[in-house]
Amino acid sequence: MEHHNSFGMKKIYLFFLCIGLFSATAFAGNPDRQGEAGAAQLLMNPWAPSAGLHSLNTSSVIGVESMRINPAGLSRLGGTEVMLGYANYLAGTGISMQAIGVGTRAGENGAFGFSLMSLDFGDVPVTTTAQPEGTGALLNLSFINIGITYSYVFDNKVSVGFTLRGVSEGTSDVSAFGFAIDAGVQYVTGDNDEFKFGLSLRNIGSRMAFGGQGLATSAPSPDQADDFNLTYDQRAAGFEMPSVLNIGASYDLLANQIDHRVTVIGNFTANSFSRDQLGGAVEYAFREQFIARAGYRADMETDDLTEVPLYDGLSAGASIRVPFKKGDRSRRFSVDYAWRNTRIYNGTHNIGLGLSF
């Protein structure tokens, strides 16, 4: 039996290695394509716990926020979790993120989840060539993505998951819609499940293109005998979604201690439309009730020909988790905060509330 388990583990390791190498090659960062992808909302993280780690916890994320990082972590829920997230994106711009997510166990090893995220751009005035100072009206901007996730864990060692996401962007007279799929795997091992490995492939989806009455234009009829204008429909160029590959690992120090836990995290990100990134983070937990975290992420290639990243690499955050019953960590209320420093404006600030039962 021991020989059989050893052989099975070797196959799992080989499987992860092959997928990781293939995916890293296929999704090697391409700075020349920077800025060509659309639906940038899919790269934003509204959840404070993982934002404090700069979204580097591909291997260790669990629960509702895993639907944004690695859907394989959803099935490691102990019951049902509800989370609310809010982020002041680039403080000073008036842009904010709002999100709600629900995850629940489905059977002994499965879990279902639902997530909704929207962007609020504040008051954006409508301007025209005739009225460049504004018409007095405000743009009705709507950027929303909705995801449905299913995850399954095998013998508490390997979990898999996928998310089907609908993406909508537009105004009252111009809009675009598309679908994207996220998929992920997590592997846990060790006497106390202290070592974790994760891989996720996100934002693989259809091309999107804007269309609507707002793209119509009026021009004189090509027939010189006709003294009237015709309305022409301008076709907008399509764009792809920002595909991302994440490969990460983490190790829990002091995993056999009751009161203390220190988790060290490493993560590699391959962006199909920008430079690849490498990052590390650390998380400290006291009785799983007070948690502090910090992270750093950097581009693997830097030059003067491509745009510098928006974030300068630093992130930090903290959580307070209050159990409903002493000794029961699966039923609790949590308050989360995260901060990520930016090269311009005043950083991004996340706050969140969570309920597990």
Q: What is the pLDDT of residues 150-200, one digit of tens each?
A: 999 988 789 999 999 999 999 988 999 999 999 999 999 988 889 999 999
CATH fold, domain 2-356, is: Porin (2.40.160)
Domain residue ranges in the chain: 2-356
From residue 193, alpha-carbon distances to 114, 205, 252 in Å are: 27, 34, 8
6 phi, psi to nearest 5 deg: -65, -40
How many Å apart are CA 47 and CA 113, to the nearest integer?
A: 15
Q: Which has the closest alpha carbon to 90: 357, 342, 351?
A: 342
Q: What is the pLDDT of residues 283-295, one digit of tens each?
A: 999 999 999 999 9
Q: What is the pLDDT of residues 228-270, one digit of tens each?
A: 788 888 888 888 999 999 999 999 998 677 789 999 999 999 9
Q: What is the pTM of this model?
A: 0.86
